[in-house]
Amino acid sequence: MLLVVAVAVAAAIWYVGISPPAEDRFLSSGVEKMKNDETDKNFNELTPEEKAIIVDKGTELSFTGKYDKHKETGTYICKRCDAKLFESSDKYQSGCGWPSFDDAIEGTVKRLPDPDGRRTEILCANCDGHLGHVFTGEEHTPKNTRYCVNSLSLNFIKPQQTENKQKAYFAGGCFWGVEHFFQKADGVISTQVGYMGGHKADPTYEEVCTGKTGHAETMEVIYNPAKTDFETLTKLFFEIHDPEQVNRQGPDVGTQYRSVVFYADNSEKEIAAKLIETLKQKGYKVATKIAKADKFYPAEDNHQQYYEKKKTLPYCHAYKKRF
C-alpha cells in the first residue's frame, strides 16, 4: 500500500515537473470554473469562440488573434465587461504569437495560480473573465514581465473613445416624453431633463413655462460611445417626436417646446444637418433647429424620470419610424 502511494506521489511530482510548456500551443480547456459562468445582463454577449476563452479558460491558437501584431495607439478593454485593462504604450512584440504587454492598468488584472500548478493565470478583476497568463523573468523589456493575453478576451478603443461617457442634448417638446424614450435606448447610461438655449440663469419650470426665458425644455443624455453614437441617438430623437411642428409638440404650445438638436462640435452639427436633409428628401417639412449647445440647467427633481415615477405613459410623444 505504502509503495502504491509513493509511486502515485512520484508520478504526480513527475507530472507537475514536465507539465505544460510555458505557452499553450493548442486550444485547451481549463478545468476550473468560477463565477464567470454566471450570466449577467450587464455583460456583453459572447460568441462561442469568445466563451471558450473567457468563460472556459481556453487559449486561442498562437499567431491567429487580431491583436497579436496590432500597433494602434489606444486602450485594450475586456471583451465581456468593457473594463480598461491594458494601454497600447505597454504592448510589445514578444514573438510568442499572442498580444503581449509588460504592464497592466493598475488594479484591473487579477492573478491566480493556474490549475496546471505552474503558470499564473490572469483575469479581468471586474468580471473574472479569463485573459491569459503572466510570465516574469524573461528579460524581454526592463519591466521583465509579459502579460500574454488572448485577442479574443479583448476589444480595442481609440484614444477619443477611451472616455466612455459622452453627452448629447435634444429639445423636442415636453421633456418628460423625450426622456421616457431615451432612457431605455441601447448605449444610454443616464438621462436628465432641464433647460437650454435661453438667457435666464438657473430658470425654474414655471419661468420656462412663460416662454419668456428663451429656454427650451431639453434632455441631456449620457451615453457610452462604444455602444451607440450621436447619429443613432439623433435618429431616435427624430423618431420619437414630430419634427414638423413649429414651437409646439402636440398639446404643448410655446417656444419652450421647440425642436432643437444642440451640437457640441462640428461633427455633431454635420450629422444633425445630414439627417434633417434626409428627412426633407423624404418629404418632411422639418422645423427642427440646429444650435450650439449652451449651459444646461437641470430641472427640478419632480420632473426627472417623470413617467417612470408616475407609472404612466407619455401623452405627447410616440415612436414613429422615419429613417
Q: Is the CB of residue 119 less than 8 Å from the CB of residue 20?
A: yes
Q: Which is nearer to Zn ion, 81 or 260 (CB)?
A: 81
Among this protein's residues, is 81 annotated catalytic?
no
Segment interacting with Zn ion (CB under 5 A) among 117-125, 157-165, 283-291, 294-302: 117-125
Q: Residue written as cell 413655462? A: 209
For the bound state, the minimum distance from the C-beta of residue 8 to Zn ion, rounded and expressed in Å, comes to 39
126 binds Zn ion (CB under 5 A): yes
For the bound state, the minimum distance from the C-beta of residue 120 to Zn ion, rounded and expressed in Å, comes to 18
Is the CA virtual torsion 247, 252, 253, 257 positive or negative? negative
Q: How many CB atoms lie within 10 A of CB 264?
A: 14
In angstroms, the CA 119 to CA 133 distance is 7
For the bound state, the minimum distance from the C-beta of residue 56 to Zn ion, rounded and expressed in Å, comes to 15
109 binds Zn ion (CB under 5 A): no
Rg over CA atoms, the chain: 27
81 binds Zn ion (CB under 5 A): yes
For the bound state, the minimum distance from the C-beta of residue 99 to Zn ion, rounded and expressed in Å, comes to 16
DSSP string spanning 150-201? -GGGEEEE-HHHHS--EEEEEEES-HHHHHHHHTTSTTEEEEEEEEESSS-S
Q: Which of 1, 56, 4, 7 is nearest to 27 (CA)?
A: 56
In angstroms, the CA 221 to CA 262 distance is 12
What percentage of the chain's residues is helix, strand, coil (to nearest 5)? 25, 25, 50
Q: Which is nearer to Zn ion, 127 or 188 (CB)?
A: 127
Q: Which is nearer to Zn ion, 81 or 171 (CB)?
A: 81
Q: Which is nearer to Zn ion, 43 or 181 (CB)?
A: 43
Give the SS3 label for residue 137. coil
- 30, 65, 129, 203: residue in contact with Zn ion (rule CB under 5 A): 129
77 binds Zn ion (CB under 5 A): no
Among this protein's residues, is 96 annotated catalytic?
no
Catalytic residue among 96, 174, 209, 316: 174
Binding residues with Zn ion: total (CB under 5 A): 8
153 binds Zn ion (CB under 5 A): no
83 binds Zn ion (CB under 5 A): yes
Q: Which is nearer to Zn ion, 79 or 241 (CB)?
A: 79
- Which amino acid belongs to residue 31? V
149 binds Zn ion (CB under 5 A): no
The binding track of 27-66 with respect to Zn ion, each residue x by CB under 5 A or -, is ----------------------------------------
Q: How many CB atoms lie within 10 A of CB 125?
A: 18
For the bound state, the minimum distance from the C-beta of residue 46 to Zn ion, rounded and expressed in Å, comes to 11
Annotated catalytic residues are 148, 174
Residues within the interface to Zn ion (CB under 5 A): 78, 80-81, 83, 124, 126-127, 129
